[in-house]
Structure 1
Amino acid sequence: MQFKGAFTALVTPFRDGEVDETAYRDLIEWQIEQGIHGLVPCGTTGESATLSHEEHKRVISICVDQTKKRVPVLAGAGSNNTREAVELTRYAKEAGADGALLITPYYNKPTQRGLVAHFKTIAQEVDLPFIVYNVPGRTGVNCLPETQAELFSTIQQVKGVKEATADLVQVSRIIELCGPEFAFLSGDDFTVLPSLSVGGHGVISVVTNIAPSLMASMCEAYAAGETNRAKDLHYQLAPLCRAMFAETNPIPAKTALGMMGKIKTELRLPLYPMEEKNEALVRDALELAGLL
């Protein structure tokens, strides 16, 4: 299984309004040095909603080029416009990505039948493995376990899900219906270990932007049967996870990386710099973890 372990939903560094390629390449290199298992450019954490198509394509290309096949690259390529999702997925394949991360269409609120038709259309147009991204809190639609099972059984390109509901009942049902070959990746940093315990395979993570080795080690420990070590790492990560969601993602992650000297803390509107009290919370968590 190619998509397993800890994948980082990478932030996109900006400097003076433009993509900061140097900082991005350095961040990718540091992630790989720290033992991350895979990288996800142009997801929600990468502020894909405010990237132009040219920027989106460039960010994917930079990631693929810098990674040089050392770890899988799962490129964000989703859209609430099926034609646009086809275009972005096609580019991800041309750029050399190992797969695509495709969010369920947001704002439109399609039915379950509409979701199936959306993903089937992409698969008919582009032969590239992809992971379905289910995040109802942002999209307004929940890709139900039965629908995920239908996607997996009828679309060859569907390899798994990034499940960001944090609903462990739904997590368990998805794995029950889809089986062990379905790459179940948690999309919620707080519930990675519980997801692994019922048959999950890993995570697409926000907190790994700042602590890649901790999350990668937790996934490795669980896979090796070292459950007590995995539990210890789960609780070591907990304060960092809380800090990373003190405000809307990726505001805290970029703030933390700025404090660590990895990137310039620059966001695109409508995202806005953190409130001082929350910035202090992030700093305290980084200091507690020994990251400052």
Structure 2
Amino acid sequence: MKKFVGTGVALVTPFKKDFSVDVDGLKRVVNYVIEEGVEYLVVLGTTAETATLTQEEKELIIATVIEANADRLPLVLGVGGNNTMKVVEELKTRDFSKFDAILSVSPYYNKPTQEGIYQHFKAIAETSPIPVILYNVPGRTASNVLPATAIRLATDFKNIIAIKEAAGDIVQAMRLIQNKPEEFLVISGDDMITLPMVLAGGSGVISVIGQGFPKEFSEMVRLGLKGNINEAYRLHYQLMDAVDMIFEQGNPAGIKEVFKARDLVENTVRLPLVNVDSNLAGRLHNFTIKNS
């Protein structure tokens, strides 16, 4: 699945000041990241504030991204949850003709065992009409998809093609890379350790910072994939402070402030999220990448 090698971005959902979905703003974001060089787009991930969206809003966002993308880049749709049967039902009923894969998060809140995680994704793999990217993010789900479980799933189900690994643990990522099936992709879900993961044998990233600084971040990943270590690390160290800042007071409040600084969209987020404070906003607005 070479189309998922490189930089994917987890698109935000822009809101107007009245908290309604900003369709024109979403189109601007899609065009911006495509024109600046990312490899694929992820729709309705965590960064999209999906937990606060109505079903009608989700459908509007899907339709808007499909229209704005105009078949230029591969699309991944977030389809996950902690009710296995509900996820399976969506997989049976949704039209996936414009999507190249789904991104499915490990069940949150329930805190399943490793066997429960396996059985959850087994049900998804047996139902999904398109390839599946696992999503491991223990900081949000309260359970960790261990490498042995991910590799078991990748071995047993050929349509499970990748994992977005966001445990923030480089050793765990290396265990995955060490023992994975040859064609299985290990994709970083942690912007700060993306380059080390790529240099260890990872396939790229599904990124937040990559939509705020798409040109520089996607170039860093491409340089890493080519083994141009010094050039890649030059960009990595230029971007490190920005990565820290966009997550300092929560995601996507930080990245939306970057977009506001670029006059792309408002910095509006929905409760229970709140905007970044004025100090962080000032630092984000003033951040520049030198010598890029």
TM-score, normalised via structure 1 length: 0.94
Bigger Cα displacement from structure 2, 121-130 vs 263-272: 121-130
The match for 2:240 is: 238
The answer as to 2:289 corresponding to 1:289 is: yes
| Whole-angstrom distance in 2 between the partners of 1:170 and 1:182 | 16
Q: Call closer, same or farther: CA 1:7–1:90 in 2, change over 3 Å.
A: farther
Question: How many residue pairs are counted as aligned between the two chains?
Answer: 288
Aligned partner of 1:45 in structure 2 is 47
**Relative to structure 1, is the Cα distance of residues 202 and 93 closer, same or farther in structure 2, using a 3 angstrom cutoff?**
farther
Kept after mapping to 2: 8 A contact 1:34/1:213: yes
Deviation at 1:183, TM superposition (A): 1.1
Cα RMSD of the aligned pairs, angstroms, is 1.5
**Displacement of 1:246:** 1.2
Residue by residue over 1:199-224, the C-alpha shift from the partner in whole angstroms, topping out at 9 and shown as x without a partner, is 00000001012101111101111222
- 1:5 corresponding residue in structure 2: 6
Contact 1:34–1:212 (CA under 8 A) maintained in structure 2? yes
Question: 1 CA distance for matches of 2:214 and 2:91?
Answer: 26
1:148-227 mapped onto 2 (5 Å cutoff)? 148-227=150-229
Does 1:80 pair with 2:82? yes
Q: In the superposition, relative to structure 1, how do residues 176 and 55 fare at CA in structure 2: closer, same or farther (>3 Å)?
A: same
Do the aligned residues in 1 keep the contact of 2:199 with 2:225 (CA within 8 Å)?
no
TM superposition score normalised by structure 2: 0.94
Aligned-pair CA distance for 1:11 = 0.5
> Structure 1 residues 90 and 279, CA, compared in 2 at 3 Å: closer, same or farther?
farther
Percent identity of equivalent pairs? 37
Return 5+ residue gaps in structure 1 as ranges. Answer: none
d(CA) in 2 for partners of 1:11, 1:28: 10
The alpha carbon displacement at 1:88 in A equals 4.0
1:92 CA drift (Å): 5.7
Alpha-carbon distance in 2 for matches of 1:89, 1:206? 26
On the 8 A contact 1:101/1:133 being kept in 2, the answer is: yes
Corresponding letter in the other structure for 1:11: V
The alpha-carbon deviation at position 132 of structure 1 amounts to: 0.5
